[in-house]
Amino acid sequence: MANSQKTNGEQTADGKFAPGNQIGNRFSKGESGNSAGRPRLTKLTDSLRQQIAETNPDADDQTVAETIAKTLITLALSGDVQAIKECFDRCEGKPKQAIDLDIQATNWREEARRYGITEAEVAAEARLLLTEFDDVGSDEASN
């Protein structure tokens, strides 16, 4: 951009789009730019699932998955802590982690007065937030 002429989509030094920008906001509020999202499975996952379901060539009466499970249990019984953890995580689910949360309840009326805000303004803002929350909730429920 040697000259002062800005092309469509370029930003100025302050981070704003140049005058005459035709790109603008490409997505509506609440609309994702990647609605399909990341693919759930990859080629590696597909291949692993397929091979785990096959019969183990070293043990004709077992699948690969069964052989791996038995090996994991053998390791756990021998005292391998990682194998024990993996067995429990797979069977019981990972344990929930406790979060220490310290919330100090304040009197919102006093806080509003401290900042020069009326109760009516606080109530109006709360209604606005609840309306926005309801809109988001209804959008997610319809998907």
Write out pLDDT tens, residues 50-77.
999 999 888 878 999 999 999 999 999 9
| pLDDT reading at 43 higher than 70 | yes
**What does pTM read for this prediction?**
0.41
Q: Bridge-partner residues for 11, per DSSP?
A: 17
In the structure, what pLDDT confidence band is assigned to residue 137 with cuts at 50, 70 and 90?
Answer: low
What pLDDT was estimated at residue 86? 93
Residue of 63, 30, 49, 57 whose CA lies nearest to 143: 30
Q: Bridge-partner residues for 63, per DSSP?
A: 55
CA distance 34 to 17: 23
Take residue 138 and report the two structure tokens written for it: 């209804």
What pLDDT was estimated at residue 63? 92
